Structure 1
Amino acid sequence: MSELLARHRAVMPQWMALYYDRPFEIVGGKGNRVVDEEGNSYLDFFAGILTNMIGYDVAEVREAVERQLATGVVHTSTLYLIRGQVELAEKIARLSGIPDAKVFFTNSGTEANEAALLLATYARASNQVFAMRQSYHGKSFGATAVTSNRAWKNSGLTPFNTTFLHGADRHLPQFAGLSDADYTRVCVEDLRHVIATATGGDVAALIAEPIQGVGGFTMAPDGLFAAYKEVLDEHGILFISDEVQTGWGRTGQSFFGIHNHDVTPDAMTFAKGLGNGFAVGGVVARGDLMDAPHAVGLSTFGGNPLAMAAANATLDYVLSHDLQANAAARGTFIIDGLRAAASRFPFVGDVRGKGLMFALDLVDPGTGAPSPAMAARMLEETKRRGLLVGKGGLYGNVMRMAPPLTLTAEEAAEGLKILVDSLEAITP
């Protein structure tokens, strides 16, 4: 055990997860690679949990932050005008497609989801909320209440009356063999039944991830949320899209994940990649929703000048370099390559993804049951070969990967080879 690991365990809570049998410290980064304390280099396919969205040591972001530091103003709070905040809000409002959109900045995705739920429950005067099975929306009291993953919930205590819907659980036996259209139809009929049987008729909102992050990149078929929204609109129920992981072109198919369903939500939450490592999150919502709460509000750190400098530079970089198109091309190459290889490995239960957001389900080859043990071995084998990946899923058996959107064709090929080589290494 390293000296730093011993110190970590002495002062950090036991529930703070660390990857790998021998956890390590990242001490440097350049492009899409990082270096550990022993000088080992790794191609990064997890990007600080999808946060280092355009890689490491990006000149445009670094220089924007340095210019802000040079002014001597790192913090003012939202009691004062912040030019970078207004400029970023204008860009996000335009990109969102939400009519008359307004933006409120926070420090994280958890805070963003709390703010969006506050807007919805205030507007509807109800604490009834719909969320999706296998979802994850953060670690605060309210965000945990709309999270549907036992591994991430400590208590059933909740500020919301939450009902969890189908839509990303096609692995269940009752949905086996259904086409996208039939699965969507079944889910919509279930939603109607839930509204009729499990609610008081005044549900505030549905909050949903277009692709579930912690859930292992499981996703509803395109169009399901459009079908859901038709039902929600009949009852005045608002729709919040949690874009913390799916935003900024990562899926390749659209700039925000929910647009893959041809849906404009009432509100979207965002965080992670927008700051390329700097803490920033927020909500973009219809202006009438954002303006409605009567109590005074502010954010001490949300939208601070330093984070806004980084976020403006990051978003400008994504747009000027058309990284959505790059995500589509690089992601298609990797996903197609993994699917082609999967037939050789009976313990690969599924390959799924969109753009630079893809995953492998690892299962027991005899029973098909989820295999967290195989996932743990895969995590070590990829590290040994110089690739960092993520792990998750409802049962802890999913390798989830989301490289920086700047991934090159050569790096995509390198990563794919390491993944296939690692699958060969863990073959029973």
Structure 2
Amino acid sequence: MQDQQDTKALYDEYMITTMVAGFEPVTVDQAGGVEMVGEDGKRYLDCFSGISVVNCGHNHPRIVEAAKQQLDKLVHCCTYIYYSPLPARLAKRLAEITPGELQKSFFGNSGAEAVEGAIRLAKQHTGRQELVSLTHSFHGRTAATLSITGNRGRKKNSGPYMSGVAHAPAPYCYRCPFGLKPDSCDLACAQYVEEVLKYQTAGDVAAFVGEGLLGEGGILPPPTGYYETVAEIIRRDGALFIADEVQSGFGRTGKMFAIEHTDVEPDLMCMAKGIANGMPLGAFISRPEIADAFTPGDHLSTFGGNPVSCAASLATIDVLESEGLLANAAERGEQIMGRLKTFQEKCPLVGDVRGRGLMLGLELVSDKQKTPAAKQAGEVRRRCREAGVLVGVGGSLGNVIRLQPPLTITADQAEKVCDVLTSALTEVAKG
């Protein structure tokens, strides 16, 4: 306990943490698979995966060994000054596993860098300057990525932002901005992109940027046909389609990338988080004719394509494929979704259960008018933590319980998660 107190004291005195509303009172000592262990010895089932990062589970031995072997050979040389084998091999693997004709990759260190680089390349290729993205979206915390983020809570106190950005309504079916129902709306939110192009832009749109499944906005899966409609509209206007798979990629939704649940082949795709199972790495990939639009001096990254991170990423992809983790994500997602959908019928606190694979969200409401129950969501998280299960809380309204465990979670572990979560929800609903 003393070590835990010492760590908190060091955080308070030497780290900038005032931008965090409140830490979980857990000091992590070690982790393995789906479990994290605190310095006090308490064990937790981790259903947040470091914000959807350790898709292959904490400290997967094959991935750790790949990183260790590379550490003994080479840590850094700068991938964009000297030829380095690992980034080249990883770029080839990404070309093999991504949809459509995506082929050439650029490596950075984070999701925000990936999105910002993709935006820059799209502008360079098209010769256009404007962008369209979605409300409730989140694309990073740099100036450009916050500019296209459609979430006031993430953007406050950091403007002014980049000009030339328009936002279309997100496919938030539970809180449809048009007041329509999914079975009869004719994808009004997708159709409205046409209006955005006509009346919110100057006709100079380089790209549309959309998450394969919106994460920070509240786990919002686009309805069938949504992105197909959007892609048709924006391409007819001469713009490119950028899929942001930073959070939804690498098996999280039961497919390698969430956009594969649609018939859309992106022009560019952004990746990070699960790409190297915890090692810092980001990337964007595009078709060759788009990638070649960069000219000398247009872009670079000192640490991008770090050999150790690339070794971990190659091992991550191998583990995802060889250990059947995409299929497990789909199966465990159906298992958890089934339990929670049944529970929703008898718990009015749960307004909506949604998601794909192991990217699931429960939106909590305090009444039939769908008043956001943010306070109750925080209390549910606390009760789950005390019972040994770590969940996230997010959404634009702060009222969504987020379940994003490692894709290695077993059926028995998934049942325990559901038992703990439904018990917490029951108790909070009574209160």
Q: Scaled by the length of structure 1, what TM-score is found?
A: 0.95
The answer to whether the 8 A contact 1:331-1:355 is kept is yes
The answer to whether the 8 A contact 2:227-2:262 is kept is yes
The answer to whether the 8 A contact 1:359-1:398 is kept is yes
State the Cα deviation string for residues 227-265 of structure 1 (Å, max 9, x = none): 11111111111010000111112111x321112121001
Partner of 2:408: 406
Partner of 2:390: 388
Partner of 1:142: 144
What percent identity do the matched residue pairs reach? 36
Q: Which moved more, 1:97-106 or 1:133-142?
A: 97-106
Q: What is the distance in 2 between the residues matched to 1:152 and 1:395?
A: 12
Q: What is the distance in 1 between the residues matched to 2:83 and 2:177?
A: 54
Q: Which moved more, 1:191-200 or 1:275-284?
A: 191-200
Partner of 2:133: 131
Partner of 1:289: 290
Q: What is the distance in 1 between the residues matched to 2:325 and 2:105?
A: 23
Question: Which amino acid in structure 2 is aligned with residue 295 of structure 1?
Answer: P
Partner of 1:256: 257
The answer to whether the 8 A contact 1:356-1:401 is kept is yes
Unaligned runs of 5+ in 2: none
The answer to whether the 8 A contact 2:102-2:268 is kept is no
The answer to whether the 8 A contact 2:35-2:45 is kept is yes
SS in 1 for 2:393: strand
Q: What is the distance in 1 between the residues matched to 2:346 and 2:102?
A: 52
Equivalences for 1:63-82 in 2 at 5 Å? 63-71=65-73, 73-78=74-79, 79-82=81-84
Partner of 1:6: 9
The answer to whether the 8 A contact 2:169-2:177 is kept is no
Unaligned runs of 5+ in 1: none
SS in 1 for 2:181: coil
Instruction: Give the superposition deviation at 1:19.
Output: 4.8
Equivalences for 1:110-259 in 2 at 5 Å? 110-153=112-155, 154-172=157-175, 174-180=177-183, 182-184=185-187, 186-252=188-254, 254-259=255-260
Q: What is the distance in 2 between the residues matched to 1:68 and 1:8?
A: 31
Partner of 1:97: 99
Q: What is the distance in 1 between the residues matched to 2:103 and 2:192?
A: 31
Q: Scaled by the length of structure 2, what TM-score is found?
A: 0.94
Question: Which amino acid in structure 2 is aligned with residue 344 of structure 1?
Answer: K
Aligned length: 424
The answer to whether the 8 A contact 1:148-1:164 is kept is yes
Alignment of 1:280 with 2:281, yes or no, is yes
State the Cα deviation string for residues 356-377 of structure 1 (Å, max 9, x = none): 1101111113642001100110
Q: What is the distance in 2 between the residues matched to 1:95 and 1:346?
A: 42
Q: Deviation above 6 Å: which 4+ runs of structure 1?
A: none
Question: Which amino acid in structure 1 is aligned with residue 356 of structure 2?
Answer: K
Alignment of 1:323 with 2:325, yes or no, is yes
Alpha-carbon spacing, 1:373–1:225, altered in 2? closer, same or farther (3 Å): same
Q: What is the distance in 2 between the residues matched to 1:342 and 1:65?
A: 43
State the Cα deviation string for residues 51-74 of structure 1 (Å, max 9, x = none): 111112211011111111222x11
State the Cα deviation string for residues 7-44 of structure 1 (Å, max 9, x = none): 31223334442655x62211111111010111100001
The answer to whether the 8 A contact 1:44-1:389 is kept is yes
Alignment of 1:270 with 2:258, yes or no, is no
The answer to whether the 8 A contact 2:174-2:352 is kept is no
